[in-house]
Amino acid sequence: MNYIGSKHKLSSFIFETVTETCGKDLSQKVFCDLFAGTGIVGRNFRPHVKQVIANDVEYYSYVLNRNYIGNYFEFEYQNLLDELNALKGNKGFIFENYSEAGKAGRNYFTSENGQKIDAVRLQIEHWKKSKTISEDQYFFLLASLLESADKVANTASVYGAYLKHIKNSAAKPLIIKAAKIQKNLFSDGLANQENRVFQKDANQQIKEIEGDILYLDPPYNARQYGANYHLLNTIAKYDTFVPKGKTGLRDYYKSDWCKTGEVLKSFEELIENAQFKYIFLSYNNEGLMSQEQVQSVMERFGKYSLKTKKYQRFKADKTENRNHKASETFEYLHILEKSP
Ligand SMILES: C[S@@+](CC[C@H](N)C(=O)[O-])C[C@H]1O[C@@H](n2cnc3c(N)ncnc32)[C@H](O)[C@@H]1O
């Protein structure tokens, strides 16, 4: 998934820095990804650690992580996907409010794909209610729907707006593909791993967990994820509400990490409450907190160091000049070895 702040491209930088700091053998370590997003960081660490704890305040992220981190794939799924892909469309909530031909005229999906999303989402819920599928299968299917629907969304990148005309990738018919982990978990001996997945505000969640390695990847700026990815929450929750305005926004969570006046306080409080020996914070040079501010907080709690990497960040605004100097971003990985 093309996600703001995704660490997909920085995976090896993060992994190398963590192993340089904590040692190559992570097999007895509990690793926590507290702002997990797409779950890509936890997924990369999963084969190497004793346990992964994943958390994010957004429900769509919970769904993805509940699948990628929480599932072990002891179940059959191809027959379920085949059934979903064979369904006839249904003119439901997504079709009416978020597709080309719906009454609201919001071009987020083609008319066919909007109807398909409704049909698939209703079938998944029906299977859950009739106990045809397990909880693991439920989240696997929801994650598969979110990933597949995102591929045919008619947006420039995020769901803050839709495009006027249907773009090529959005014109393709929706096909639900498996959102699964490629690794054979059984041959890796990971079937016994007891991973935990949560959906809470990070500053609450941190008080309820402990472990060895804490990875923090909070939002950098004022753009709230709940607003930018509202449609993923709407498909995942499939609840009833009145979509607001031109973009069909729903009520969304307003994170303190996106507020200039609140972020430093939240950061200090989180570091203070963290019961982890090693803490890594990804942040960039365009963030609400400066490198110096982060450093001065971390230094109060133990041994601090910093890794820097030049990085072309994901741009939501395609009209921005990519060659402009301002688009060059430095990605920081702040490291704290917390004093006992
Ligand atoms: C930079 S993104 C994380 C990206 C992730 N590492 C990845 O590679 O996909 C920040 C994440 O923090 C989440 N978030 C924002 N405020 C939060 C809060 N107060 N508590 C927990 N999660 C929060 C957002 O929903 C978003 O998924």
**What's the pLDDT tens digit per position in 121-153?**
999 999 999 999 999 999 999 999 999 999 999
Residue 188 in domain: no
Mean pLDDT of the chain: 92
| 242 plus 320 within the same structural domain | no
User: What is the best residue among 12, 34, 52, 217 to mutate for testing ligand 1's pocket, by most ligand atoms within 8 Å of CB?
Assistant: 217
| 105 plus 238 within the same structural domain | yes
| 16 plus 52 within the same structural domain | yes
User: Is the pLDDT assigned to residue 322 strictly greater than 60?
Assistant: no
Quick check: CB of 57 below 6 Å from ligand 1? yes
| 156 plus 29 within the same structural domain | no
| 155 plus 125 within the same structural domain | yes
Residue 187 in domain: no
| 54 plus 125 within the same structural domain | no
Domain span holding position 125: 73-181+224-247
- State the pTM of this model: 0.94
When pLDDT is cut at 50, 70 and 90, the band that residue 310 belongs to is confident
| 177 plus 232 within the same structural domain | yes
User: Which pLDDT score is estimated for 260?
Assistant: 96
Residue 265 in domain: yes
Quick check: CB of 3 below 6 Å from ligand 1? yes
| 60 plus 169 within the same structural domain | no
User: Is the pLDDT assigned to residue 187 strictly greater than 90?
Assistant: no
Q: Ligand 1: distance of its center to the CA of 228 in Å? A: 12
User: Which pLDDT score is estimated for 328?
Assistant: 73
CA distance 8 to 10: 6
| 173 plus 279 within the same structural domain | no
Residues ≥6 apart with Cβ < 8 Å to 213: 18, 22, 26, 29, 30, 31, 32, 49, 276, 277, 278, 280
User: Is the pLDDT assigned to residue 197 strictly greater than 80?
Assistant: yes
* Number of independent structural domains in the chain: 2
| 141 plus 282 within the same structural domain | no
Quick check: CB of 7 below 6 Å from ligand 1? yes
Q: Count of alpha carbons within 13 Å of 326, Cβ hemisphere only?
A: 4
CA distance 332 to 309: 6
When pLDDT is cut at 50, 70 and 90, the band that residue 325 belongs to is very low
| 79 plus 58 within the same structural domain | no
| 236 plus 260 within the same structural domain | no
Quick check: CB of 226 below 6 Å from ligand 1? no
User: Which pLDDT score is estimated for 314?
Assistant: 55
CATH code (residue 268)? 3.40.50.150
User: Which pLDDT score is estimated for 329?
Assistant: 80
